[in-house]
Amino acid sequence: MSFLGRWRTNVVNQIPALVLVAMCVASTLMSDRFLSSTNITNVLLQAAVLAVISVGMTFVVIGGGFDLSVGSIVGLSGCVAAEVMLRAGIFAGVVSGIATGAAVGLANGLVIARANVSPFIATLGSMVFVRGLALLMTKGAPVVGDDGLPAGFIWFGTARLFGIPWPVLAAIFIFAIFAWVLHKTAFGTRVFATGGSREAAFLSGVPVRRVTLLVYVICGITAGIAGVMLAARLQSGQPTAGEFYELTAIAAVVLGGAALHGGEGYLYKTMIGVLIMTVLTNSLNLMGVDSYWQRIAIGVVIVAAAAADQLRAKVN
């Protein structure tokens, strides 16, 4: 009983991973291209931007919050990075893109942690506001300059190291750093505590407001990084880039098993959620499924994956 029980618990804890594996097996059976090396790199490349956004989103969600503004941050920071880059070089561009994300994150955090506005409404407001800024700054047109963005920057979006695209390597690096922060540092434990019970964390000496603030700053930074990465892939700063990323990222985090009320989750599981979302559209495209049917399939898979994951709660 005990051994079987533990085994069952372990299996059940890995349901998101099993769902991902099942999806990959099904895709391989349905399309012989799915496992081709081109396609695997494709999937990883497509997942990279979402993965970086979802890293920050995981912090916010585990900390008991919610961030709808990441998609707009991606748009704005990409445009800022492109604009600065055209004038002051790649490095300055990248730094200012990321700084833009951090600034928006800080503003979100202040409104939420200091003015006590609900995260939903605060980040909905900044989602609209920041998109407006991006459009205003660019007058709605992509930022490319006269001869395009610097070649070195575009190279980053397309080049590979040992066959692995640079954006994927960047995403892995960022994941590793933040996984360490979340799971191995005192700050990470405080994030879990704040999300799990604000009151208990407060009475244990956790500076809950500061933690809340920092969590949004982290989310802003990762969204800023993602914006810069996307600009490199799109070879331009696009003011409308990143739309819908907010919902996709939250979905990835929740599919990975983090509780939306906070206090629970693992960063590596979020990555599984990201891959589920990415493999889903990729394999539907490979199979040539009609776009209306694609929506239906995506809706079903999201709900089914989440429902399967609920078995975990049952067994534990």
Partner 1 sequence: QPKPVTIGVSLASDVNPFYIAMKSGIEARAKELGANVVFVTANEVVAQQVDGIQDLVARKVDGILVSPIDAVAVGAAYDAAGKAGIPVISIARHANSANESAYVSMDEKKIGGEIAAWIAQSIGGKGEIAMVAGPSGAATFRNLAEGFDTVIKTSPDIKVVYRKDVALTREMGLKQAEDILVAHPDVKAIYCANDEIALGASQAIAAAGKGSQVVVTGLNGIPPAMRAVKAGTVGLTVNLNPVAWGRLGVDTMVEYLKGNKPTGDVAVKHVLVDAKNVDQFLPPPAVK
Partner 2 sequence: MDSRRDALDGGAMTHIRIANVSKFFGATCALSDVSLEVKSGSILALLGENGAGKSTLIKILSGIYPPDAGRIELDGQPAHFKSLPEAIAAGVVLVPQELRVAGALSVAENMLLGYLPSRRVAGLLPCVDARAMKESARAILGDLDVNIDVDARARDLTFAERQLVVIGRALGHKTRILILDEPTASLERRETERLFTVLRRLRNQGVTIIYISHRLEEVDILADECAVLRDGRLAAMSSAPFERNDLIHAMTGRELDLQAGGARSAGDVRVSVSLPGGALTCRQGEVIGLGGLLGSGATELLRRLFGVRSGRPGERNSEYPRDVPAAIENGVGFVPGERALSLVMALSVRDNIVLPHISAFCTASGRDEQKITAAVVRLMTLLDIRPHNPDMPVRGLSGGNQQKVVFAKWLAGRLDLLLLDEPTNGVDIAAKAHIHRYIADFASSGGAVILSSSDMPELLGLSDCVVALRQGRVVGRVSRDNTYGEASLRALLETAV
Tell me which residues touch partner 1 (CB under 8 A).
Answer: 31, 33, 36, 38-39, 42, 45-46, 49, 135, 139-142, 144, 146-148, 154, 157-158, 230, 233-236, 238-244, 281-282, 285-288, 290-292, 294
152 binds partner 2 (CB under 8 A): no
Q: Confirm if 168 and 45 have CB atoms less than 8 A apart.
A: yes
Site stretch for its own copies (CB under 8 A), options 45-53, 164-172, 179-187, 291-299: 291-299
315 binds its own copies (CB under 8 A): no
Instruction: Return the number of other C-beta atoms located less than 10 Å from residue 9's C-beta.
Output: 13
Sign of torsion over alpha carbons 67, 70, 76, 82? positive
28 binds partner 2 (CB under 8 A): no
CA dihedral 134→135→141→142, nearest 10 degrees, is 20
Applying CB under 8 A, among 25, 88, 114, 184 the residue interacting with partner 2 is 184
> In terms of DSSP H, where are the helices of 205-290?
208-234, 245-255, 267-286
Q: CB under 5 to 8 A by kind: which of partner 1, its own copies, partner 2, none does 316 bind?
A: partner 2
In the complex, least distance from residue 206 CB atom to partner 1, rounded to whole angstroms: 37
Q: Locate 163 and state its tokens.
A: 């066959």
Residues, the chain: 316
264 binds partner 2 (CB under 8 A): yes
6 binds partner 2 (CB under 8 A): yes
Considering just the CA atoms, what is the radius of gyration of the chain in Å? 20
Q: Locate 206 and state its tokens.
A: 């956790």
Q: Confirm if 60 and 211 have CB atoms less than 8 A apart.
A: no
Distances (CA, A) of 222 to 68, 71, 215, 216, 259: 14, 11, 11, 10, 20
Q: CB under 5 to 8 A by kind: which of partner 2, its own copies, partner 1, none does 129 bind?
A: its own copies
What are the b/e assignments for 154-189, b being 16+ CB within 10 Å? bebbeeeeeeebbbbebbeebbeebbebbeeeebbe
201 binds its own copies (CB under 8 A): no
Nearer to partner 1, 13 or 240 (CB): 240
Applying CB under 8 A, among 88, 177, 200, 303 the residue interacting with its own copies is 303
In the complex, least distance from residue 199 CB atom to partner 2, rounded to whole angstroms: 4
SS3 assignment, position 140? coil
Q: Confirm if 49 and 103 have CB atoms less than 8 A apart.
A: no
Give the x/- contact pattern for its own copies in 241-280, rule: CB under 8 A: ------x--xx--xx---xxx-------------------
Return residues touching its own copies (CB under 8 A).
68, 111, 115-118, 120-122, 124-133, 135-136, 140, 247, 250-251, 254-255, 259-261, 291-296, 298-300, 302-303, 306-307, 310, 313
